[in-house]
Amino acid sequence: MKKTLISSLLTLAFCAPLAMAGGNVAAGKDKSASCVGCHGAEGISATGIYPNIGGQYENYLLHSLKAYKSGERQNAIMQGMVAALSEQDMEDLAAYYASLPGALKDGNVKPR
Q: Each residue of 29-75: pLDDT tens digit?
A: 999 999 999 999 999 998 889 999 999 999 999 999 999 999 999 99
DSSP codes, 34-63:
GTHHHH-TTS--SSSSSPP-TT--HHHHHH
In the Cβ-directed half-sphere of 18, how many Cα atoms lie within 13 Å? 6
> pLDDT (tens digit, 9 = 90+) per residue, 70-97?
999 999 999 999 999 999 999 999 999 9
CB–CB of 98/57 below 8 Å? yes
Class of domain 23-99: mainly alpha
Q: Where is pLDDT greater, at 9 or 81?
A: 81
